[in-house]
Chain A
């Protein structure tokens, strides 16, 4: 019994410790973000941010686009197979357009970025911890959070919403192609229907989600990296746990946000 309580207590403490570390890191990086901004901040940080944007965003574009295309087709086909029976093929357009802007776009992008970049952050920072590079930064009077994390966070805050929009476009386009081949609906007309069925707030709620997902991915990845102690095996474990934890937290955050939008706007 005592060991059970001990275990529960220990686990709780570990989780609280993690949440604490996460919050401290978030606060520290928010204070250090100023230095990463263009024009007003440190030009080297901005340069690093641009480099990160290329890595997080531009090189992920083909993969995210392709994933979104496939998901768009899947969504359209699955929807059509049911809706066809009611002669409601028209609603496939709504399904794809609204489903993508609110949900699939942000989530797909977050999962792709977490797999590509979240693990890379953990590996990079973990290796820097193991090889004393983080200590070297500190004794050279650099703040590791400002030097390493802030550019990544800024880049993710900019690129993840951009990728989300790209994935929305690709997904909706895939739906249009599907509609063209099954019902001979012209692409122009399809886009017209799409624009009438989605509202600005669908897009914005998706983008708010994507900002939250970007925060989770960057901070979980970097926290895992900073917490590496020991050798290369610890780096390996940290990358795995970065992907697992950030994917899990992204989905939890998605539920929470969707619930908030559902209950507070009464529409979702």
Chain B
């Protein structure tokens, strides 16, 4: 049975459809990459999976519970089994890295402080930040912040790990390290991983399956090979990195020249 299943999900902002009747099943233990261009609705979909925003219609089932309709208490229970690393890391700035990771452990479990310290250290070591626990988030670099966010997401040993843009804004080496980290975590903890990204190499490195999102609906959902061999023009354009409307650049240049020559630009 799918651990996350999305049924006919519709999300609207001010009567503008951002997600248009999505259906998707994510199986336990798989890595699902949500791939799509900027503004295609990836983050919006993720916020729906986390129950952070209200949907217009449709349902999102996480571990069999419909989080668009369940009570606050059930939602809180579901959320304990989800670890999230946000696009902006979203570490708590008033706490040190160590305390960021320890927060959920301290408050949601009855573990002894010494055990919590040990678990925090192990989580930080897993992401390569064992020596930086005492620092505050503003003292970390962007890549370290993202890794700290992963450590925090791992704290409660979640069944589902969610990443929003793990590699955005990082140099290729750090981005690749983060990909390896995701693969490693998955192998070690058998988690279900949901990753949102628009970076192709990263997507094809970590994915079991890929869902291509465009203008709020899925163009294709399938394994890496299926996506790679898909002939849908929009997917080809995305994979081959072809810009929108090839002719446009020369048109702009022409009208600009006209303008320089003093003639009326006529778009």
Contacts and interface: CB of A to CB of B under 8 A. Distances in A.
A138 B72 CA distance: 11
B86 A138 contact: no
B90 A44 contact: no
Contacts of A127: 93
A133 B79 contact: no
B205 interface: no
Interface in B132-172: none
Contacts of A135: 47, 50, 52, 86, 90
A138 B107 CA distance: 14
Interface string A48-84: 0000000000000000000000000000000000000
Contacts of A138: 50, 52, 79
Contact of A142 (B50, B88, B93, B107): B107
Given A138-B79, A141-B80, A133 B52 contact: no
A136 interface: yes
Interface residues of A, number: 13
Contact of B87 (A42, A132, A139): A132
Interface residues of B, number: 21
Contacts of A42: 107
Contact of B90 (A131, A141, A142): A131
Contacts, number: 44
Nearest to A138: B52
Nearest to A134: B90
A140 B153 CA distance: 8
B101 to A, nearest CB: 11
A141 B108 CA distance: 9
A136 B84 contact: yes
B224 to A, nearest CB: 28
B17 interface: no
26 contacts: A42-B107, A44-B106, A127-B93, A131-B88, A131-B90, A131-B93, A132-B87, A133-B90, A133-B92, A133-B93, A135-B47, A135-B50, A135-B52, A135-B86, A135-B90, A136-B84, A136-B92, A138-B50, A139-B52, A139-B82, A139-B84, A140-B84, A140-B104, A141-B76, A141-B77, A142-B107
Instruction: Give me the 4 closest cross-chain CB pairs, A-B, nearest first.
Output: A132-B90, A136-B90, A141-B76, A141-B79
Given A133-B93, A140-B103, 14 more contacts: A44-B107, A127-B93, A131-B90, A131-B93, A132-B86, A132-B90, A136-B84, A136-B86, A136-B90, A138-B79, A139-B52, A139-B84, A141-B108, A142-B107
